[in-house]
Each structure stands twice: as structure tokens, then as C-alpha cells.
Chains A and B, each alone.
Chain A
Amino acid sequence: MFEQTGMKNNNQYFTSSILQIHHVTKQFSNHLALDKVSVDIPENSIYGLLGPNGAGKTTLIRIINCITAPDSGEVLLNGKKLSSDDVRHIGYLPEERGLYKKMKVGEQALFLAQLKGMTRHDALKALKYWFEKFEIQSWWNKKVEELSKGMAQKVQFITTILHQPKLLIFDEPFSGFDPVNVDLLKREIIGLRDKGATIIFSTHNMASVEELCDHISLIDKAKIVLQGSVGSIRASHATGTYRVIAKNKLNEEPFSVIERKENHHGFEYVLKANPEETNNLLLSNIMAQSEVFAFEEILPTMNDVFIQTVTSKTQQS
């Protein structure tokens, strides 16, 4: 009956960091984009990079991709200072993405793969595999302008992961996809993680963060405001709210009832426990009053955590 929250099955992987970002600061002429940001990205995990628009996420991603350089601080990949040579170990799907419209799909995918350092031969082989897997072989000789947005995104996804990078960065990967393809993509992303890749995942879709991410960093106004595993963050934001289904009516002690519904096999409650109460104490208290059909702590969604963190920071400042 307990929902296991924050207990994703990959804790055993968290042994070393693939990417370490230490006190990175980036100043643009009229605003500070990143202020002493430090992030540790464990190998073989999916890492969520969250934050409101303009918080500095894209700048951080560009620094990881060596598109821009930080003013101070350092970025280490596998313990060594990141250099522009390392970009071939990185796959990057930017939020602002596109393809050459007049170029044929296959030719373009080959071009992008070769830019990442693949030989033509290897690129062809890998492309054949992915085009078959996504069942898009017939697109090979089409011009990009003949494809729909979603179709072009699929091609783009393939070109991002084709060179089997150790580190993948997806910035809003699901925008422009229908639910069927979003599902396909999610499975592929998890599959890539399981095969050993590390994924940095930036999105505003909090449901997919809960679903996919092991750890997150929340950036707001150039600073990290929240960092940790998804489970522990949600647990630490717990408000002591529970959902209980019991046979009998309950007395309001040591909790308060927020909501009560009566149905054919009893009562469904939403309760708010007193702050010092632990789950077990609360449960035994209820069990003493009635037979319990269901007991579940309601943890805040990442959406709640996001809004709460960002708005409380705004109020403070």
C-alpha cells in the first residue's frame, strides 16, 4: 500500500561524477547569467536542469558545450578540464534547433555525424540502425523542408545520439512531439542511460522530471536554489499531508482533516498531520481507531516544489 517515493532503483550507480562544475560565473554586458554555480553530475544518471526562463540554464549548457567560456570557475569532464576536443563525447540537442531546409535528410545526418568526428562509414552504419529502429528509412532522400516539425525533430534526435556520446544534453527534447513519440523518446532516453550514458535534461515539464530524473538542480536568477535527488527533494518539501481510506469515521487527533468523502466501503480522508508526527505513529493512531484500507503520504509534485521555490525566492528578494 505504500508508494515508494524517491527510491529509484539506480542508487548503486552513483559512485563517481562524470561532470563537475565548480563555481562557474558568467557575466554578460548588462546582466549576470551565472553566479558561482556548482553542479555535480553523477555518471549514468538522468540529471534535471530546471529553472524559470532566463535563469541561466542555456548559458550553463552552452558552457558545458564549449560554445561560451565561463568568466571564472571550471568545468571538469571525467576529472579533467573540459576542452573543445571533448565535444565529440557530448551530444547536444539545443532548444533552438533546426536543420538545413534544402538539404536531404540522409546527407544532412551524415554531415552532422562527421562533424562530431565519426567516419563516413561508421556514420552510415549507425544511421541505418537508427533509421530502421524509428522506421523512417523512406525519409533518407527527402529534403528537410518536406518533413513536418515532429519528423524533423526525430531526425535531430538521431543526429544527437548517433556518435554514442558519454554525455547527452537535451534541452526541451519533447517540444513538438505527439504523445506517442514523446513516449518513444522517453524510452530511448532511459535506454541510453541504462547503456551507460549520462543525460542532462532541461525542461519545464515537471511531470517528465519526476518520471525521468534521478537528480535535479534548480537555477533561479543565475544561482542554484535547489539541488539533490528528486526523491529527497520531494520528501524534504513534504507538508505532512496524507491520504487515508478507513472503515470508520476518524477523530481529529493528532491531525486535522482537510477533506472527507464517504463511499461504499468507508471514508476517504485527506489529513494534515501535526509536525512532530512520524508516519508510523500516525498510522498506528489511525489503526487504533479503525480498519485501514489505504494509507499514503502525499508528497508535493516537482511542479509544486518548483513554484514554491521560485516564488519564495522572488518574495525574499
Chain B
Amino acid sequence: MSKTALIIKREYKTRVMKPSFIILTFLTPILIAALVLVPLLLAQIKDDAVKKIIVIDRTGLYTKAFEDNEEYQFIFLNQDIEFFKETKIQDSYSAVLYIPEDLSVHPKSATIFSEEQVGMEVKSYLVGILKDYVEEQKIAELNIPDFKELVENTKVDIDVKTVRWGKDGEEKMGSAELALIIGMISAFIIYMFIVVYGAQVMSGVVQEKTSRIVEVIISSVKPFQLMMGKIIGIAMVGLTQFALWVVLSLVLVAAGTSLMGGDVDVQAYEQSMNVGVQSGTVDAGDTVTSEILMALANFDFVQTGVLFVIFFLGGYLLYASLFAAVGSAVDNETDTQQFSLPLTLPIIFAIYAAIYSAQNPDGPLAFWCSMIPFTSPIVMMVRLPFGVPFWQLALSIGILILSFVGSTWIAGKIYRTGILMYGKKISWKEMMKWVLYKD
């Protein structure tokens, strides 16, 4: 076995066997599954407690508007509002709706009183009833026959489909929302991976230095081999964790949904995800779902997957080698902060740039940030689902590859000198000098 392979193996084995790794690897899918399954579960459980609403209607106009149903029960009273406040009689009621004036004249005069903060659901339900009722009243006052039907007919649900033309003129159903979600998720994964595992590379180097094993090892292998072994080993740890997360999450979600009674009530699920948003009719919900499925089917997973891996590895290698260089130059982990800041800043900037690029994927910010190697792995992932010209992709990947080759070379130089330096405060200038050393 080659020496680099031995180092990779050691890095991989010791890290994967760590209890913290095992716990995190198995806990995260459970968390992800819970995030998916709990809203599903909640959607299926209906709130069967009947909400009692006291209505104090000074105008007497709205008695007909409120009808009892499975969820709401209305009690009409004409007490003074102060009475409820003092007697605390409302303990057994959810809320008191107070209507002092004619809402068609004073539309903002109604108030909901309650002891606890009243839920959005109750508020929007009551507002909805009053709005519909007042609108209907106003229409009726106009005295135009069949006006209500006429108005009803003018209502149109507009939903714009996005279609991408393939090279051969084939039309592909796309979904801007889906593209955005996939882009943001992959960008965020790359971001997380660079930050978490880059930091692990750095602290691994510092530990080797402080435990003083480094000189023993570089009497057997070249410092560059040691550095690359560490970077590659940790990358494999990250990929393992990532793969386990995806597989376990899918398995758990699949197992969970089948346990919950086979076919998932997609509409209920959507509604539970959009609490408070009155979005169209049930029909519209259905078409949205099928459109997403259609768009998913049309989504080029192979291309995105391959490019994801390229940018993922490119970005990681670029940053990890620089993190290794920083780790080699300092004496202990507390000193790493001042040197790692210039590395973490561009990563954080990249995630902001990615968010703005999603809004304007062909704008100058998006373009330049997807060319600069320090931001391109993250920003390009967001632009990718919107379609990026081939020359831009090629240029961006080319720059990224050149940059990580360059950064690895520079980092190797710094690393080689740094790991054998003890008890010296290192400056950026000093580090630059190390790069220029001949051997």
C-alpha cells in the first residue's frame, strides 16, 4: 500500500470510528425524517376541540354570518365588553369577537379579545367570514341581478408554467421554484461541507503538530503526502457521512410514510405546509403537485449530479489545502482564528452571493461570483438549475481546477515549513516567505 493510502486509511478509520461521528451520522437522518414526517402526521390529526367564540354584535347585522360547524361554535351575547374582562367568564371560550359598528362603513372597527394570543387560524377564519359576508351585502345593495355569478366568472386562477427549450427544440416542463430549491440545497451542502470539514483538516494538522508526531511521520513520508492524505481522508469521511444521510433519510421517510397508512394525503400535506395562506381551490393544489412531479421527472439529475460532485470536490480541495496551511503555521487551536478568518469570510460571502444570484441568475454578481474560485462552487450550484451557458461552466471549472492545484501547491510549501516551526508567532509576510523557499 502506498504511503499516502496508509495516511488516508488512518485518517478515515480513526474519524469514522469516533462516537461523535457515529452519533451525528445516525441522528441527522432521524431529524430529517422527523422534519418531513411530523407535518404529515399533524395534517392527518384534526384538531377536534370545538372553538367557542362569543360574538358581541352591537349592530345586529352579522347574526346570520356566523354558523356553527364542526370546529367553531358561536354564541351571541350583548354584554358589555368589560364584563368579560372582569368575570373571566371567557376561560371556557376561545375568543370574544366585538363588532361595534357597521363594517361596510368602518371596516377596521372589529376587535378580537382573548386571554391568550389568538391563533392565526382563528383570526383568518373570522376575518374570512366577515369579509365574504360584507362583500355579499354590498353586492346585494347594488341590486344587479346575477351580479354575484358574474363576479364569480371573472375570477381566474393564473399559474404560469415555465418551459425550457432543449437544444433539439424539445420542450421541457421546468419549475423555477424547484430549480431554486435544488440549487439552494446543493449550494448549502457544499458550504456546510467546506466549513465543517475544512475546519477538521485545520484542527487535524494542529493536533499533529502539538502532539509532536509530525516529525516522526515526515521522516517516513513527504510533508505533501501527509497533507494530501489528510485532506483526502477527511473528504472521504464527509462523503461517507453525506451518503449515509441521504440513504438513511430516504429509508426512514419511506418507512415512516408507509407506516402512516400507505398513500399520503398530499393535499393535506400541502395545506399543512401553507397554514394561513389561502391558496386557490383543491383543484389548483392538485395541478401544482403534478407540475412539481413533472418538473422533477424532467430535471436533469445526471448533469446536476456530476457538476455537483465537481464543484463539491473542487471547492473542498481549494479551501481544505488552505486550511491545512493555516493549521501548520500556528502552535495551538486558539491561534487558528486570526488566520482562518480570511478563509471563512469568502465562504460566508459566497452563500449570500448565492442567495442574490438565485433572484437574478444571469446578473453580473452571479456571473462573477461563479467565476471566482472562492465563491464559484457555491454560487454556480444555484445558477445551474436555471441553465448556464456551456462556456461559462467550462471556464468556471477550469479556473477552479487551476486554483486548487495552485492553492495546494502553495499550501504544501507553507505546510512543509510550518509543521516544523514551534514557538514562533507567524505573520502573513512570514508565510509568504515560506512559499518562496526552495525546498
Task: Report A's interface with B, CB cutoff 8 A.
Answer: 29, 62, 65, 67-69, 71, 84, 87-88, 90, 92-94, 96-103, 111-112, 114-116, 156, 159
Q: Which residues of A contact B216 (CB under 8 A)?
A: 92-94, 97-99, 112, 156, 159
> Once bound together, how far apart are the Cα atoms of A115 and B217, in whole Å?
8
A111, B211: Cβ atoms under 8 Å?
no
12 further A-B pairs in the complex, CB-CB below 8 A; given A92-B216, A98-B216: A29-B433, A65-B219, A67-B215, A92-B215, A94-B212, A96-B422, A97-B215, A99-B213, A100-B213, A101-B207, A101-B211, A114-B1
Look across to chain A and name the residue whose beta carbon is closest to the beta carbon of B215.
A94
Shortest CB-to-CB span from A314 to chain B, Å, is 24
Look across to chain B and name the residue whose beta carbon is closest to the beta carbon of A120.
B1
B36 within 8 A of A: no
Q: Which residues of A contact B1 (CB under 8 A)?
A: 114
Shortest CB-to-CB span from A120 to chain B, Å, is 9
Q: Which residues of A contact B3 (CB under 8 A)?
A: 115
B220, A67: Cβ atoms under 8 Å?
no
A69, B439: Cβ atoms under 8 Å?
yes
> Once bound together, how far apart are the Cα atoms of A241 and B199, in whole Å?
65
> Once bound together, how far apart are the Cα atoms of A313 and B212, in whole Å?
33
B213, A87: Cβ atoms under 8 Å?
no
> Once bound together, how far apart are the Cα atoms of A24 and B289, in whole Å?
76
Shortest CB-to-CB span from B413 to chain A, Å, is 13
B10, A67: Cβ atoms under 8 Å?
no
B212, A67: Cβ atoms under 8 Å?
no
10 sample A-B contacts, Cβ–Cβ < 8 Å, listed by A number: A29-B437, A92-B219, A94-B215, A97-B212, A98-B213, A100-B14, A100-B208, A111-B10, A114-B6, A115-B217
Shortest CB-to-CB span from A164 to chain B, Å, is 15
B439, A100: Cβ atoms under 8 Å?
no
> Once bound together, how far apart are the Cα atoms of A156 and B213, in whole Å?
10
Given A111-B6, A111-B10, A115-B6, A99-B219 contact (CB < 8 Å): no
Given A67-B420, A69-B439, A102-B14, A115-B213 contact (CB < 8 Å): no
> Once bound together, how far apart are the Cα atoms of A262 and B10, in whole Å?
69
Q: Which residues of A contact B217 (CB under 8 A)?
A: 112, 115
A-contact 0/1 string along B410-439, CB 8 Å cutoff: 000000000010100000000001000111
Q: Which of A98, A103, A116 has the most CB of B within 10 A?
A: A98
B222, A84: Cβ atoms under 8 Å?
yes
Q: Which residues of B contact A84 (CB under 8 A)?
A: 222
Look across to chain A and name the residue whose beta carbon is closest to the beta carbon of B419.
A67
> Once bound together, how far apart are the Cα atoms of A112 and B10, in whole Å?
11
Category for how many chain B residues contact A: 20 to 34
> Once bound together, how far apart are the Cα atoms of A65 and B219, in whole Å?
6
Shortest CB-to-CB span from A108 to chain B, Å, is 9
A96, B219: Cβ atoms under 8 Å?
no
Q: Which residues of A contact B42 (CB under 8 A)?
A: none
B221 within 8 A of A: yes
Q: Which residues of A contact B439 (CB under 8 A)?
A: 68-69
Look across to chain B and name the residue whose beta carbon is closest to the beta carbon of A28.
B437
Q: Which residues of B contact A98 (CB under 8 A)?
A: 211-213, 216
A90, B212: Cβ atoms under 8 Å?
no
Q: Which of B14, B217, B223 has the most CB of A within 10 A?
A: B14
A90, B219: Cβ atoms under 8 Å?
yes
Report the 8 A-B pairs with minimum CB-CB distance, sorted nearest first.
A98-B212, A115-B220, A69-B439, A92-B219, A94-B215, A98-B211, A65-B219, A98-B213
B218 within 8 A of A: yes
Look across to chain B and name the residue whose beta carbon is closest to the beta carbon of A65.
B219
Shortest CB-to-CB span from B18 to chain A, Å, is 8
> Once bound together, how far apart are the Cα atoms of A193 and B3, in whole Å?
29
Look across to chain B and name the residue whose beta carbon is closest to the beta carbon of A115.
B220
Shortest CB-to-CB span from A52 to chain B, Å, is 18
Within 8 A of A (CB), among B1-50: 1, 3, 6-7, 10, 14
Q: Which residues of A contact B14 (CB under 8 A)?
A: 100, 102-103
Shortest CB-to-CB span from B423 to chain A, Å, is 11
Look across to chain B and name the residue whose beta carbon is closest to the beta carbon of A29.
B433
Shortest CB-to-CB span from A43 to chain B, Å, is 21
B219, A87: Cβ atoms under 8 Å?
yes
Within 8 A of A (CB), among B197-237: 207-208, 211-213, 215-223
Q: Which residues of B contact A94 (CB under 8 A)?
A: 212, 215-216, 219
> Once bound together, how far apart are the Cα atoms of A97 and B420, in whole Å?
11
Q: Which residues of B contact A159 (CB under 8 A)?
A: 216
Shortest CB-to-CB span from B133 to chain A, Å, is 71
> Once bound together, how far apart are the Cα atoms of A159 and B211, in whole Å?
16
> Once bound together, how far apart are the Cα atoms of A112 and B1, in whole Å?
13
Shortest CB-to-CB span from A232 to chain B, Å, is 32
Q: Which residues of A contact B221 (CB under 8 A)?
A: 115
Q: Which of B7, B216, B222, B438 has the most CB of A within 10 A?
A: B216
Q: Which residues of B contact A99 (CB under 8 A)?
A: 211, 213, 216
Instruction: Pick the residue among B208, B211, B220 that contacts A87 (CB under 8 A).
Output: B220
> Once bound together, how far apart are the Cα atoms of A122 and B221, in whole Å?
19
Q: Which residues of A contact B215 (CB under 8 A)?
A: 67, 92, 94, 96-97
> Once bound together, how far apart are the Cα atoms of A29 and B223, in whole Å?
20
Shortest CB-to-CB span from B234 to chain A, Å, is 15
Instruction: Pick the residue among A67, A69, A101, A102 that contacts B218 (CB under 8 A).
Output: A67
Shortest CB-to-CB span from A148 to chain B, Å, is 15
Shortest CB-to-CB span from B330 to chain A, Å, is 16
Shortest CB-to-CB span from B5 to chain A, Å, is 10
> Once bound together, how far apart are the Cα atoms of A165 and B439, in whole Å?
25
> Once bound together, how far apart are the Cα atoms of A150 and B216, in whole Å?
17
Q: Which residues of A contact B211 (CB under 8 A)?
A: 98-101
Shortest CB-to-CB span from B210 to chain A, Å, is 8
> Once bound together, how far apart are the Cα atoms of A71 and B221, in whole Å?
21
> Once bound together, how far apart are the Cα atoms of A181 and B216, in whole Å?
21
Shortest CB-to-CB span from B182 to chain A, Å, is 39
> Once bound together, how far apart are the Cα atoms of A69 and B3, in whole Å?
21
A97, B219: Cβ atoms under 8 Å?
no
> Once bound together, how far apart are the Cα atoms of A68 and B218, in whole Å?
10
A96, B220: Cβ atoms under 8 Å?
no
> Once bound together, how far apart are the Cα atoms of A87 and B420, in whole Å?
18
A67, B422: Cβ atoms under 8 Å?
no
Q: Which residues of B contact A97 (CB under 8 A)?
A: 212-213, 215-216
A-contact 0/1 string along B285-328, CB 8 Å cutoff: 00000000000000000000000000000000000000000000
Look across to chain A and name the residue whose beta carbon is closest to the beta carbon of B436.
A29
> Once bound together, how far apart are the Cα atoms of A71 and B437, in whole Å?
11
Shortest CB-to-CB span from B399 to chain A, Å, is 32
> Once bound together, how far apart are the Cα atoms of A159 and B6, in whole Å?
16
Given A103-B14, A115-B220, A115-B221, A96-B6 contact (CB < 8 Å): no
Within 8 A of A (CB), among B222-255: 222-223
Instruction: Pick the residue among B207, B213, B219 that contacts A67 (CB under 8 A).
Output: B219
